[in-house]
Amino acid sequence: MEINEILEEVGLNKKEAIVYLSLLNLGESTASRVSEISDINRITTYVILKSLKEKGFCSVYDKNKIQYFKPIKPEQILGLLEEKKEKILAILPLLKKKENLIEDKPELSIFEGKKGITAMLDLILKDAENKKEVFAYGNITITEKLIEYQSLFWRKTRLEKGIKISAVLDSLENFEPKKEEKWRKLSHTRVLRDISKINSYVLITSNLVGYMSFKGELIGILIKNKDIAEKEKFNFDLLWEKAKR
């Protein structure tokens, strides 16, 4: 890489790199002389020299009422970089806090139609791979509709990865469980009649909460937020304890 390009990488813009190198060649000089060597007009050169001074790449002093600019030695650039590094290290904890605030901000997505709901279910299943469990509660009518949207890939993947589903439903009437032994081991349901008042179905993993509602067609709302997921898991635990085995 050229010297100019490297200087640009350590914090100077293109013209600042040119002016610094010109000043380095001169040793120390006036803005007018630096302007001639740099082939940059005098006013712009003066502005650039002020900027270089602020960045620590040169100093300024008066001699016979004329301003002279003196560049820092090349090895001193390392000191400037080290100083910047120390400043970044000092504010790193604050930067991390801000990053965490962004990460904790809930992300909301809406899914519609068969392809949309299938995509949403796949995201939920993917997030459940870590702890191998999904929790759910809601209306059996929506549950039955949801099963129609679950791709064979979804069910096959859930069983292959050993992901358990525990669900609290308002009823199990007309609900036909799968006959496979593995499905029965990984699928647990309890009944709580009061849930019939809730015209929705909720799926919960460690980081995701999926809300499903049926109004002519199935609509899904997926929220990515650990705090909301923990709140919904708390709700599920209360319902699970209250429900009939």
CATH number at 3-76: 1.10.10.10
Would strands 208-215 and 201-204 be described as parallel, antiparallel, or unpaired? antiparallel
- pLDDT score of 192: 92
Helix 42-54 vs helix 31-38: crossing angle, to nearest 10: 110
Position 155 scores a pLDDT of 78
User: Could you state, in chain order, the average pLDDT of each consecutive group of 10 residues for the chain (245 residues)?
Assistant: 81 92 92 93 94 93 91 90 88 80 76 87 92 92 75 79 93 68 86 88 95 84 93 95 85
CATH homologous superfamily of domain 104-242? Answer: Endonuclease Chain A (3.30.870.10)
Q: What is the pLDDT of residue 101?
A: 62
Predicted local confidence at residue 144, as pLDDT? 74
Q: What is the structure's pLDDT at 178?
A: 60
Cα 192 to chain centroid distance, Å, stands at 38
**Torsion (CA) 229, 142, 149, 190 in degrees, nearest 10:** 70
Give yes or no for a contact between 114 and 212, defined as CB atoms under 8 angstroms apart: no
Residue extents of the structural domains in the chain: 3-76, 104-242
| pTM for the structure as a whole | 0.58
- Would you tell me how many other CB atoms lie within 10 Å of the CB of residue 121? 25
Query: Can you tell me the distance from the alpha carbon of 143 to that of 88, in angstroms, rounded to the nearest whole number?
Result: 52
pLDDT for 169 equals 92
